[in-house]
Amino acid sequence: MGSFSLNYLLRRLLVFFLTVWVAATLIFIIPRLAPGDPIQAMIARMTQFEGYVENADLIIEAWRKRFGLDDPLHVQYFRFLGNTLRLDLGYSMANFPATVYELVGRALPWTIGLVGIATVIFFTVGNLCGALLAWYRTPKWLKVLIPMSMTFTSVPPALFSLLLVYIFGFLIKVNEKPLFPQVGAYARGTTPEFTLEFFGSVLYHGFLPAMSIVLVTFGFWALGMRGMMVTIEGEDYMILAQAKGLKPFYVLYRYMIRNAILPQMTALAVSIGTLINGSVLVEIMFVYNGMGSLIYSGIANQDFGLIQGTSFILIVTSALAVLIIDLTYPLIDPRISLEGR
């Protein structure tokens, strides 16, 4: 256990900052690819929706000045990067006095909570199932049951959430009320506060969204884990461990899972992006008040600044998650730290 090599650390940091820079640059470039400039495009969209915008020319002029759109492109670009670094993401057009930063600040904890808890559950359950699948002492019925539950693996979480809502939020009723709420992150009419009741309501509302991520995801991890376990079972040190008469559980935990979990951690870092993609859609399906719903409201209200800011922050968040996983990796795999020296 211990220190990482400088090489490893620098490379991870480089990937992180490159990711953030690429995301910022993309978000700067994309609106400028559209015909006209962003303000004109915005007015055009407003006209599309409202029919006619009074004093459109004046508005365009004012906004152009406000955003400095008359400056040369590279000046705009560096100002944009500077603003982004300070997390000044501009105003939300639809909720005007509110800045994108405020809105994101309110939504991000919900998303991190939902995705974080779901990740812990599916990673633990998935890897345990995978390990049990390959372990020779696992009872037969379990080896039949687990693969059956893996059928869901490839179904997108958002579609699966539709099924879950239909079954548990609509069909199954207890005392004329659905078993689980269909939408929202907490009971309507309550305000977020640190009470047990509110906490319970959050868990109750978060159950279906979290399950729709967990149930379709854990099979993937079980499959990967099983593959690793099968490889490890053939290793010489396994034969030695058994010959030494070590307890089977000890062998399973210290010799097999301990080794097989390493590639799984790498895979987790790689899959963060996909995970965020999926959870954004799940949030939208459940009208869960996280980042996904924020993006969706941005799309619905043609609020481009909000879409940009939310996407950017989510990309930074996932890059950060990958960085954290990568940096904890040497702690569980001592070999990594020796490599660079």
Partner 1 sequence: MAERTKDAPVAGGTKEAGLLNRFDNPWMNWKFLTGAGIIGFIFFLIFLGNQFWDTELALAGASPLNMPPVGFTNWRNQEGIPEHPLGTENSGRDMLALLIVGTPRTIGVGAIAASVGMGVGILLGFLAGFVGGWVDDVIRLATDVTITIPSLLVLIVIQAVLPRIDLVTMALLISMFAWATPTRYIRAQVLSMRESGYVQMARLSGVPTRDIMYKEIMPNLLPYLAASYIGNMTGAILSAVGLELLGFGPQRIPSLGVTIFWSIEAAALLRNMWWWWGIPTVILAVVFIALLLINLGLDEIANPRLRKAN
Nearest approach, Cβ of residue 80 and partner 1 (Å): 14
Q: What's the full length of the chain, in residues? A: 341
Site string for partner 1, 12-51 (x = CB under 8 A): --xx--xx--xx--xx--xx-xx------x----------
Q: Is 168 in the site for partner 1 (CB under 8 A)?
A: no
- The residues that bridge with 174 in the sheet, in sequence order, are 177
Cα–Cα nearest to 213, from 118, 110, 321:
118
Q: Is 268 in the site for partner 1 (CB under 8 A)?
A: no
Residues 6+ apart with CB under 8 A from 133: 143, 146, 147, 222, 225, 226, 229
Nearer to partner 1, 55 or 154 (CB): 154
Q: Is 118 in the site for partner 1 (CB under 8 A)?
A: no
Identify the residue among 281, 283, 286, 293 touching partner 1 (CB under 8 A): 281
Q: Is 81 in the site for partner 1 (CB under 8 A)?
A: no
**Interface residues for partner 1 in 141-160 (CB under 8 A)?**
151, 153-156, 158-160
Identify the residue among 92, 201, 212, 311 touching partner 1 (CB under 8 A): 311
Site string for partner 1, 207-226 (x = CB under 8 A): ----------------x--x
Nearer to partner 1, 159 or 195 (CB): 159
Residue type, 182: Q
Instruction: Give dist(CA 107, CA 293) in Å, integer.
Output: 9
Residues 6+ apart with CB under 8 A from 208: 161, 164, 165, 168, 169, 180, 181, 286
Look at the block and give the residue holding tokens 């079980």: 222
At residue 158, the 3 state secondary structure works out as: helix
Identify the residue among 62, 73, 162, 338 touching partner 1 (CB under 8 A): 162
Per rule CB under 8 A, count of chain residues that contact partner 1: 61
Nearer to partner 1, 223 or 336 (CB): 223
Q: In angstroms, what CA-CA distances link 196 with 129, 192, 207?
A: 33, 11, 16
Look at the block and give the residue holding tokens 């991870």: 12
Nearer to partner 1, 11 or 254 (CB): 11
What is the Cα gyration radius of the chain? Answer: 25
Identify the residue among 92, 212, 318, 337 touching partner 1 (CB under 8 A): 318
286 close to 332: Cβ distance less than 8 angstroms: no
Instruction: Give dist(CA 110, CA 98) in Å, integer.
Output: 19
Identify the residue among 227, 259, 263, 267 touching partner 1 (CB under 8 A): 227
DSSP structure string for 40-99: HHHHHHHHHHHS--TTHHHHHHHHHHHHTTTS-HHHHHHHHHHHHHTT---B-STTTTSB
Query: Which residue ranges make up the site for partner 1 (CB under 8 A)?
Result: 14-15, 18-19, 22-23, 26-27, 30-31, 33-34, 41, 134, 136, 151, 153-156, 158-160, 162-163, 165-166, 170, 182, 223, 226-227, 230-231, 233-234, 242, 270, 272-274, 276-277, 280-281, 284-285, 295-296, 298-299, 302, 304, 307-308, 311, 314-315, 318-319, 322
